[in-house]
Structure 1
Amino acid sequence: MNPLTTLTEESRLTLANLADAATDLAVPSVRLGVTGLARSGKTVFLTALVHNLVHGGRLPVFSAAAGHRMTGARLQPQPDDAVPRFDYEAHVRALVDDRVWPDSTRQVAELRLTIDYESASYFYRKLGPGRLHVDLIDYPGEWLLDLPLLNKDYATFSAEALQRARATNRIEIASPFLEVVGKMSPDTEENEPAAQELSAAFKSYLAGCRADTHALSMLPPGRFLMPGDLDGSPALTFAPLDFPADAGAARTGTLRSMMERRYEAYKAHVVRPFFRNHFARLDRQIVLVDVLNALNAGPDAVADLEVALSEVLGAFRPGKRSWLSSILTRRIDRILFAATKADHLHSSDHDRLEAILKRLVSRAEEKARFKGAEVDVLAMAAVRATREATVKHRGEALPAILGTPLPGERLNGDTYDGRTEIAMFPGDLPQDPESLFDKDESLHEGVRPSFQSAQADLQFLRFRPPELDTTAEGLTLSLPHIRLDRALEFLIGDRLA
Structure 2
Amino acid sequence: MVITSIADAVTRQVEAVGDSVNEALFEPVIRLGVTGLARSGKTVFITSLVANLLDRGRMPQLVAAADGRIEAAYLQPQPDDTVARFAYEENLAVLTGPTPHWPDNTRGVSELRLSLKVRPTGMLAGMRAARTVHLDIVDYPGEWLLDLALLDKSYEDWCSHVLTRLAGRDEATAYLAAMEDVDAEAPFEEGAAKALAGHFTDYLQAARLAGYSDCTPGRFLLPGDLAGSPVLSFAPLPVIDGRPARGTLRREMARRYEAYKSKVVKPFFRDHFARIDRQVVLVDALGAIHNGPPALEDLRQSMADILGAFRPGRNAFLTRLLGGKRVEKILFAATKSDHLHHSQHPRLSAILQALLREAKDRADFAGAQTHALALASLRTTTEASLTHHGQEVDCVRGLLLDSGKRAAFYPGELPADPAHLLSPARQGAERWLDQDYAVMRFAPAPLSLRPGEGPPHIRLDRAAQFLIGDKL
What TM-score results when the alignment is normalised by the length of structure 2?
0.94
1:105 aligns with 2:106: yes
Aligned partner of 1:155 in structure 2 is 156
1:478 aligns with 2:457: no
Q: What is the identity, as a one-letter code, of the residue corresponding to 2:111?
A: E
Moved more, 280-289 or 257-266: 257-266
- Give the match's secondary structure for 2:308: helix
Aligned partner of 2:433 in structure 1 is 452
* 1:119-161: CA deviation from partner (whole Å, max 9, x where unpaired): 2323355322121000000012332211221222222222222
1:133 aligns with 2:134: yes
Question: Partners of 2:400 and 2:96 in 1: how far apart?
Answer: 16
Moved more, 251-260 or 235-244: 251-260
Aligned partner of 1:487 in structure 2 is 463
Question: Partners of 1:121 and 1:275 in 2: how far apart?
Answer: 39
Aligned length: 466
* 1:345-367: CA deviation from partner (whole Å, max 9, x where unpaired): 00000000000000000011111
Aligned partner of 2:66 in structure 1 is 66
Q: What is the identity, as a one-letter code, of the residue corresponding to 1:18?
A: V
Aligned partner of 1:413 in structure 2 is none
Question: Partners of 1:253 and 1:394 in 2: how far apart?
Answer: 69
> Residues 83 and 163 from structure 1, CA distance in 2 versus in 1: closer, same or farther, beyond 3 angstroms?
same
Question: Partners of 2:409 and 2:239 in 1: how far apart?
Answer: 53
* C-alpha contact (below 8 Å) 2:49/2:460 kept by paired residues: yes
> Residues 302 and 440 from structure 1, CA distance in 2 versus in 1: closer, same or farther, beyond 3 angstroms?
closer
Show structure 1 runs of 5+ residues with no match: 408-416
Question: Which residue of the other structure, out of 259, 275, 283, is the alignment partner of 1:281?
Answer: 275
Aligned partner of 2:92 in structure 1 is 92
For residues 378-393 of structure 1, the aligned pairs below 5 Å read 378-393=373-388
Question: Partners of 1:183 and 1:40 in 2: how far apart?
Answer: 37
For residues 211-230 of structure 1, the aligned pairs below 5 Å read 211=209, 214-230=210-226
Question: Which residue of the other structure, out of 333, 337, 344, is the alignment partner of 1:338?
Answer: 333
Report how far residue 219 of structure 1 moved: 1.5
Report how far residue 164 of structure 1 moved: 1.7
Provide the identity percentage: 45
For residues 356-435 of structure 1, the aligned pairs below 5 Å read 356-407=351-402, 417-418=403-404, 420-435=405-420
* C-alpha contact (below 8 Å) 2:32/2:137 kept by paired residues: yes
Question: Partners of 2:277 and 2:65 in 1: how far apart?
Answer: 22
* C-alpha contact (below 8 Å) 2:33/2:279 kept by paired residues: yes
> Residues 177 and 470 from structure 1, CA distance in 2 versus in 1: closer, same or farther, beyond 3 angstroms?
closer
Report how far residue 7 of structure 1 moved: 5.2
Report how far residue 65 of structure 1 moved: 0.6
- Give the match's secondary structure for 1:56: coil
For residues 189-228 of structure 1, the aligned pairs below 5 Å read 189-211=187-209, 214-228=210-224
> Residues 157 and 9 from structure 1, CA distance in 2 versus in 1: closer, same or farther, beyond 3 angstroms?
farther
Question: Partners of 1:79 and 1:440 in 2: how far apart?
Answer: 44
Moved more, 275-284 or 186-195: 186-195
Aligned partner of 1:20 in structure 2 is 19
> Residues 7 and 366 from structure 1, CA distance in 2 versus in 1: closer, same or farther, beyond 3 angstroms?
farther
Aligned partner of 1:299 in structure 2 is 293
Question: Partners of 2:51 and 2:425 in 1: how far apart?
Answer: 47
Aligned partner of 2:182 in structure 1 is 184
Aligned partner of 2:120 in structure 1 is 119
Question: Partners of 1:119 and 1:149 in 2: how far apart?
Answer: 44
1:29 aligns with 2:33: no
1:311 aligns with 2:315: no
Report how far residue 225 of structure 1 moved: 0.8
Question: Partners of 1:225 and 1:120 in 2: how far apart?
Answer: 48
- Give the match's secondary structure for 1:286: strand
* C-alpha contact (below 8 Å) 1:405/1:462 kept by paired residues: yes
Question: Partners of 1:363 and 1:9 in 2: how far apart?
Answer: 32
Report how far residue 440 of structure 1 moved: 9.6
1:436 aligns with 2:411: no
Report how far residue 186 of structure 1 moved: 1.9
- Give the match's secondary structure for 2:279: strand
Question: Partners of 2:145 and 2:9 in 1: how far apart?
Answer: 19
* C-alpha contact (below 8 Å) 1:111/1:136 kept by paired residues: yes
Show structure 2 runs of 5+ residues with no match: none
* 1:58-93: CA deviation from partner (whole Å, max 9, x where unpaired): 111110111111111111000000001100011011
- Give the match's secondary structure for 2:454: coil
Q: What is the identity, as a one-letter code, of the residue corresponding to 2:106?
A: T
Report how far residue 453 of structure 1 moved: 2.0
Q: What is the identity, as a one-letter code, of the residue corresponding to 1:260?
A: A
Report how far residue 8 of structure 1 moved: 5.0
* C-alpha contact (below 8 Å) 2:293/2:429 kept by paired residues: no
* C-alpha contact (below 8 Å) 2:296/2:425 kept by paired residues: no
1:355 aligns with 2:350: yes
Q: What is the identity, as a one-letter code, of the residue corresponding to 1:153?
A: S
Q: What is the identity, as a one-letter code, of the residue corresponding to 2:334?
A: A
Report how far residue 208 of structure 1 moved: 1.3
Question: Partners of 1:492 and 1:435 in 2: how far apart?
Answer: 35
* C-alpha contact (below 8 Å) 1:173/1:205 kept by paired residues: yes
Report how far residue 193 of structure 1 moved: 0.7
> Residues 6 and 156 from structure 1, CA distance in 2 versus in 1: closer, same or farther, beyond 3 angstroms?
farther
> Residues 389 and 65 from structure 1, CA distance in 2 versus in 1: closer, same or farther, beyond 3 angstroms?
same
- Give the match's secondary structure for 2:176: helix
- Give the match's secondary structure for 1:338: strand
Q: What is the identity, as a one-letter code, of the residue corresponding to 2:469?
A: G
* C-alpha contact (below 8 Å) 1:13/1:329 kept by paired residues: no
Question: Partners of 1:492 and 1:339 in 2: how far apart?
Answer: 19
Question: Partners of 1:150 and 1:423 in 2: how far apart?
Answer: 46
- Give the match's secondary structure for 2:104: coil
What TM-score results when the alignment is normalised by the length of structure 1?
0.90
Question: Partners of 1:198 and 1:396 in 2: how far apart?
Answer: 55
Question: Partners of 1:289 and 1:264 in 2: how far apart?
Answer: 29
Report how far residue 220 of structure 1 moved: 1.3
* C-alpha contact (below 8 Å) 1:61/1:485 kept by paired residues: yes
* C-alpha contact (below 8 Å) 2:294/2:425 kept by paired residues: no
Moved more, 120-129 or 74-83: 120-129
Q: What RMSD, in angstroms, separates the aligned Cα atoms of the two structures?
A: 1.9
> Residues 440 and 146 from structure 1, CA distance in 2 versus in 1: closer, same or farther, beyond 3 angstroms?
closer
